[in-house]
Chain A
C-alpha cells in the first residue's frame, strides 16, 4: 500500500457482536503489517487497552475511520454508536449485525421479558428459586454497581445513528475489507454516502457456479438433510431453499462451495429493500401447482419462512419485530 499521506486514525468497535467481525480484520494475516503502516488503531477493545473514557476525551471527528460491528442490543451499544459517530469522519456499519441486525436480530421474534424468563428462570440447568434477574443498577453490600440496560428489541446501526457506508457479510470477506481500506488510504474517490461497499450489486445466483435452468419448477421443498445433494445442481432446483436469489453477491458464494445453501448474510442486492419479501416472491414463482390445496401442501414444507427469509435481516425488514 503506497501512501504519503498522514496515517489514518482508525477505530474498530464491537457492540452486540460475536467477535467474528474483529477476527475478519485480523485475518489479513501477514498484511497486518501494511495496515499498521497505514493506520494507527486508536480504539479496538478486542486487541488494545483503550478504555471508553479515552474515546470520550477525543475531539469530535478525531477518527478518520471507524468500523462498527455488532447490533444495538442494549444501552451501552447505543451510547457507543452515538459517541463513535461524533468522533468519526467515516462511520462504517461493518458486518451483518451492524448492517441488518444480523443473527442477534432474530431476538426480534421474542421480547426482553421472554428472553430473561428463558435464560434466568426456566433453562434446564438454572436453579434460581428467588427468581433473580440481572438489573441495570444493583446495590451490593459494598456500594452500587451498574450494567447496561437490555432493550426490548434489536436494532441495526443505522437505526440509531447516521451511517456513511455499509460493508455486508457475517463476517465480511477479508479481501473485500482490504479493498475498501486501500481505497480510503490511497484517497481514491469514495462512493456516495449510504452506499453498500465491499460487495457486488447483483445476486448470489449471478455468480454461483451450480448448474441452473431458467425455468425452475418445484413440486416439493426439502430440508437439507432430506435429500442427497448432488453437489452440482442449483439448490432451489433440488427443492432446497437457498437465499441466493435475494442475496447480494460478494462473498464468493462460500457456503455454496461448502455444499450448504446460502442463508443471506450479505443482505439484499442493490435496489431491493426487503430481502424476505423478495425471497417470498422468488419462491412463489417456482412452485409448480395451481390448486389452493396443492399450493398449501408445498408451502407447508417450508418450515419457518420468517426465520429463514430474514435470517440476518429481521430488524431492518418491513415488519421488523413480532407483534405481541
Chain B
C-alpha cells in the first residue's frame, strides 16, 4: 500500500490534509480528507451573555463572518422571542447580499475561472488570475478587485467592519441607514448587477462555449448523486437570509421542509477518529457511510444544491439564468460537482439584484430599528444559507440570557462527507495503474474540492513567487517511494 499526502491543502479557508492510499496495483484504494483543527466555540461560548455571541462567532470564520453574524443574530432573536422590525431585517439582508457579492466574486475569479479559462491542465504558473487577466484583459482583473472592495465597503458601513461585524443586537440592528448612504448603495448595486452579468457572460463564453469543458462538467469524474439542501422562501424560491430548509432527494423530489427549530429532527452528525470535523447526514435516513445514491444519508449543501432544492430564483435576471442552466444540463436536479461554479455565478447575479431591490426599498431608511424585548424564552435556532452551505446556530440560555449550550452546524461541515467522496471519485478516476502523476492530474484532483469553495477566495493565489506543489508517495512504513513536484 502506498500513501500520498497533500499537506496543507492550499487556497482554502481553514486547514486541511488529503491522504490518498494506492493499492499494490497502483490504483486508489481510499482517500481521507482530514481537518486537523478544532477550536471549540460550542464549549467556550458557554457562560457568555447571549447578546455577545453574534460578535464572538464572527471569529469562527474570517472569510464568511457575515454568515455567522446573521445566523447568530437570528438565534439570539429567537432566544429573546422577538422578530426584528421590517427595517432592521432589510438592513441585515442588505448587508448579507453585499457579503455574498464579495464572496462569490472572489471565489469565481480566484479559484474557479482560472481552471477553465486557462485550462485545467495548463501549467500552474498560468492557471491563476494573472493567466486569467492575460486571456480576458487587465481591465477585467482590476474590475474584480474593485467590485470586491465595494462589497467589503458596504459591509463595513452597515456592520462596523467587514470582518468584525457588530450590527446585530437582540431584536434588531444598532444603526440605521441615511438617505445619502442609501443612494450610494443603490449606485453600487447597479454596478454589481452589470458586473454579475459580465461574469455570467465570461462563464458562458469560456466554459459553455468549449465542448471539452461541458463534457468535463457532465461526464468527468466529478459527479455525486446526493440529496440537496437549501433555504427557500414561501414560494420555494432560493433565499439566503430567511425561510425554511428544504431537502430534495437525488431525483429532485421533496423529502423534507423544516423550519429552523426543527433542524434537530432532520440533521445529525457522525464522528470519525481521523478528523476533527464531524460528518453531518440526514437523520431520518441514518449514517450509511461514505456512499452516494438514493439510500445514502449524505447530502450536499452548496450553491448547486440550493438551486436543486428550490423551484427557482426570486429575481428576474437570475431566474432566466436558472432556467438556462437546467435546460443546458438536461433538467433538474444536476449532480455534476463542477456545475457548482455555474450555480455560484447565478447566485452572484441574484445577490446583486436583491441588493438593488433592498436598497431601493422605501423601508430601508426607516427609523424603527429594534423591537421591544419581553421575558426571555431561552432557546433559539437561527439558520441562514452561508456561501458554503446551510448554517445552523442553536443556543440555549438561562432566564437571564446567559448561554448554557451552543450547537453549530457550519456551512462547510455539511459537505465534509461529500468532499471526501468527491476526492475519492476524482482520484480513482484519474489515477490508474501506471498513470504518470503530473501537474494536470493533481490539479484535477484539487478541482474536486475547490468546487465546494471550502476555500478562501481572493485575487492573490496567483502572486509571483508561487511555489510548486510537492506530493509524496510513501509506503505504509513511511518510506518515500516516489516524489512528484508540480512546477
Contact = CB atoms under 8 A, between A and B. Distances in A.
A124 B405 contact: yes
B209 interface: no
Interface in B238-292: 263-264, 267-276, 278, 280, 283, 287
Contact of A147 (B36, B62, B169): B36
Given A30-B149, A225-B170, A20 B164 contact: yes
Contacts of B65: 18, 20
Interface stretch (B43-51, B179-187, B345-353): B43-51
Interface string A102-132: 1110110110001100111001111110001
B163 A254 contact: no
A109 B401 CA distance: 19
B90 interface: no
Given A104-B39, A119-B42, A138-B274, A47 B456 contact: yes
A53 interface: yes
Interface in B167-185: 167, 169-171, 174-175
B3 A143 contact: yes
A323 to B, nearest CB: 15
B61 interface: yes
Contact of A124 (B8, B38, B148, B264): B264
A19 B456 contact: yes
B463 interface: yes
A263 B34 contact: no
B362 to A, nearest CB: 23
Interface residues of B, number: 103
Interface residues of A, number: 86
Contact of B21 (A26, A41, A142, A263): A142
Interface string A50-85: 111110000000000000000001101000000000
B194 interface: no
Interface of B: 1, 3, 6-8, 10-15, 17, 19, 21, 29-30, 32, 34, 36-40, 42-49, 51-52, 55-56, 58-63, 65, 80, 124, 142, 145-146, 148-149, 152, 159-164, 166-167, 169-171, 174-175, 263-264, 267-276, 278, 280, 283, 287, 370, 373, 394, 400-402, 405, 407, 409, 456, 458-461, 463-470, 476, 486
Across the A-B interface, the 4 shortest Cβ-Cβ residue pairs = A20-B62, A258-B160, A40-B465, A115-B40
Given A40-B463, A49-B468, A307-B52, 12 more contacts: A18-B59, A19-B63, A29-B146, A36-B463, A43-B467, A48-B467, A120-B271, A125-B269, A127-B283, A144-B476, A303-B49, A304-B52
25 contacts: A19-B62, A19-B456, A20-B61, A20-B63, A20-B163, A30-B142, A49-B11, A49-B467, A51-B7, A51-B467, A106-B56, A115-B38, A120-B271, A126-B278, A133-B273, A135-B273, A138-B273, A147-B274, A170-B59, A223-B51, A225-B170, A225-B370, A258-B174, A260-B160, A304-B49
